[in-house]
Amino acid sequence: MFIAFVSGIVLARLLTPHDYGCIGMLLIFTSLASTFIDSGFGEALIQKKKPTNTDYSTIFFWNMGVATVLYIVLFFSAPAIARFYEIPILSPVLRVQAFVLIINAFKLVQANQLKKRLDFKALSIVTMTTSIFALVVTIVMAYHGMGVWSLVTQNLLMAGVPAVVFWFYLKWRPSWTFSWNSFRELFGFGAYMFLTHFVNELGKQIQTLLIGKMFSSSILGYYSKAYSTERMASQVISGVVASVAYPLYAKAQDDKKALANIIRRITMSISYLTFPLMLLLILIAQPVFMLLYSERWLTSVIYFQVLCLVGISSCLLSVNQQCIAAIGKSQTMFKWTLLKHSLGLTIMVAGLVLWGMTGFLVGIVIYNYFCYFVNIGLVSKHIGYKWWNQLKDLLHVTLMSLTAFAAGYASTCFLHAHIYVIGAIRLLVFLSVYIGWSIVLKPEAFVYTASIIPRRFRFWEKKIL
């Protein structure tokens, strides 16, 4: 995440909003195609207690076959997509960018094997090494004026290097077999996971499609930069935890009490770190974008602030959703996913038609919070961690975060100073209030989160002589 953060800073100064907008316009096609490739079989393999080599081989050949077909479809559809957006360069860009589908299909089984055995050390080493290598190449290309092609190359490298490493690291090779019995068994669970992922991805990418069609590529570029920055912040903790959480949920799927306790601890720890981070970023958004990306990207600030409101709920969405999948309720999850995204899309489109970009952003906020309440309702029903208890567990963190936000904002209300000075004051006041109240009140979320930190670094536990 840190490497991606550095990448965003450097590339934002070398590339234009139009370059980012072009990639953003194509995401709906490549992202939706990606959901077809895995088809939920990755989660099915992790959820299954003892998958066989036949299971792995069957899914490997399925992924490769679907990826090849989808690449051919996108290859020949590229000119029509370019005409839809009225941007000719999108045709060759999509034909190269879509090759990521085949590369990802080649490595999906290996990556899921590592997740199944909780070998996140190997995953992290490969990811970090690849990110550094891809960043260097991308910066060099962007510096020499390659524009959107530098972003395409970055995506190809981010997919290709891990595929090669996993192939040699795991020593696993598919056997030349395809079992329909294995396929049907995994498909019984994976089909609804696929449909759920597809609807989720469609809900995300439809936003990009609407902005790209209704506005300009530059507006989409500003939105994409705001979105990627917000996701980097909201997912820096919750994204990592969520990727580890699903295998843990799967292991505890037969013990609802233990599962509820895991969800509760993860929820409180993520909220303690993410809630204040999102509100702090709303408070200092303008100086952050000025410092990181330059004045060229200031249009992104308002989009970023609204998306940070979304980030408060979205950081907990997957935590609740994954546990429903882990206990085998994939069909139930799909039905509710279809309902919430249908309603959410209606709200977003209505807002866009009636009030333009402002209405669209308001619709995104309403849509995401509705999704969150649906998810905690499902957890309440099927796991036993009641929705009112989850909201009560979040109350202390929410109040502390809002108090720190109010103090930070009030500290500069009547101050006329440089934007960086205002940002620095708000940052210091916010952190002082939030950390101070945490040490004094010691809410349960703070205790859970602090237990991760080695005891020698817990300065608030040391006695003052």
pLDDT digits (tens, 9 = 90+) for 262-306: 888 888 888 898 899 999 999 999 999 998 888 888 889 999 999
CB of 145 within 8 A of CB of 17? no
Q: Quick one: how many helices (H) and strands (E) in the chain?
A: 17, 0
Phi, psi angles (nearest 5°) of residue 418:
-65, 150
For 324-373, how does the pLDDT look when each residue is reduced to its tens digit (9 = 90+)?
Answer: 767 767 677 778 878 887 888 888 888 888 888 888 888 889 988 988 88
**291 Cβ neighbours under 8 A, 6+ residues apart:** 420
Among 366, 265, 249, 378, which residue's Cα sits nearest to residue 310? 366
- The whole-angstrom separation of Cα 272 and Cα 288 is 22
pLDDT of residue 459: 59
Q: What pLDDT, in 10s, does the model give residues 232-261? A: 888 777 666 666 676 677 677 677 788 888
Terminal Cα-to-Cα distance of the chain (whole angstroms)? 40
Amino acid at 317: L
Burial of 50 (0-12, 13-18, 19+ CB in 10 A): exposed
Q: For 402-457, what is each residue's pLDDT tens digit?
A: 999 999 999 998 888 888 999 999 999 999 999 998 888 888 888 877 776 666 65
pLDDT at 122: 74
**Per-position b or e across 403-422, b if 16+ CB within 10 A of its CB:** ebbeebeebbeeeeeeeeeb
Report the pLDDT value the prediction gives residue 44, as an integer from 0 to 100. 64
Q: What is the mean pLDDT of the chain?
A: 81
Rounded Cα distance, 123 and 183, in Å: 26
The pLDDT assigned to 161 comes to 84
For 410, the 3-state DSSP assignment is: helix
* CA-CA-CA-CA torsion sign (325, 327, 328, 331): negative
pLDDT given for residue 123 in this prediction: 74
Maximal C-alpha separation, the chain: 74
> Which tens digits make up the pLDDT trace of 209-232?
777 777 777 888 888 888 888 888
Tell whether the model's pLDDT for residue 465 goes beyond 60: no
- 92-127 pLDDT per residue, tens: 999 998 998 888 888 877 777 777 666 677 777 877
For 53-76, write each residue's pLDDT tens digit. 777 788 788 888 888 998 999 999
Please state the pTM of the whole predicted model.
Answer: 0.71
Give 40's pLDDT tier (boundaries 50, 70, 90). Answer: low
For residues 116 and 247, is the Cβ–Cβ distance under 8 A?
yes
User: If pLDDT is split at 50, 70 and 90, which confidence band does 460 have?
Assistant: low
Q: What's residue 464's pLDDT?
A: 42
Q: Is the pLDDT of residue 29 over 50?
A: yes
